[in-house]
Amino acid sequence: MTITLQDVQIILGLPVDGLPITGRVEQDYNALCLTQLGFPFPKNNRTGGRIQIRQLSRWFLNLPQDADDEDVQRYARAYILQLLGETLFADKSNNLVHITYLQFLEDFEAAGQDTIGVVQLDSPI
């Protein structure tokens, strides 16, 4: 027995049609965290390119009342990253999520568009 895309669609209520999300693995995790979450990639709370989900949720526990649009987007990215690590891409550790997914959460305006997350590769796979 295996989980299918139809199972994902029914159980989580997520659409599964459209273009796939593809791209390169971002290697500069520090820069990715700085631009997308507002802080450097923490050395003491990471394993390779993955970050502890519990620590991520602690950093983004409460959105300040005086938060600007940039802060709201950072909190949204952290929340989505947490969901990705706990639900869609959970692994046997069940407490780590790969920072690479942040590169696909950069532009919220592109969400729901046919081109979200599609990156042209220089060389064929």
- Residue 65: its pLDDT value, please? 87
- The 10s digit of each residue's pLDDT in 60-85 is 888 888 989 998 999 999 999 998 88
Q: Residue 60: inside a domain, yes or no?
A: yes
Considering only 13-27, 37-51, 58-72, which range has the smallest mean pLDDT? Answer: 13-27
What is the pLDDT averaged over residues 14-27?
Answer: 70
Write out the residue range of the structural domain in which residue 56 sits: 20-110
* pLDDT of 30 strictly over 80: yes
In a domain, 72, yes or no: yes
Q: Is residue 88 part of a domain?
A: yes
Chain-centre distance for alpha carbon 74: 11
Is residue 123 one of the residues assigned to a domain? no
**Which helix (H) or strand (E) element contains residue 97?**
strand 96-98
The domain total for the chain is: 1
Is 36 within the bounds of a domain? yes
pLDDT score of 53: 87
Domain-located, residue 120 = no
Is residue 122 a part of any domain in this protein? Answer: no
What residues contact residue 6 under an 8 Å CB cut-off, 6+ apart?
A: 16
According to the model, what pLDDT value does residue 39 have?
A: 85
Helix axes 29-37, 69-83, angle to 10 degrees: 120
pLDDT at position 77 is 92
Tokens (6 digits) for 23 = 């791209």
- What average pLDDT score do residues 41-69 get? 83
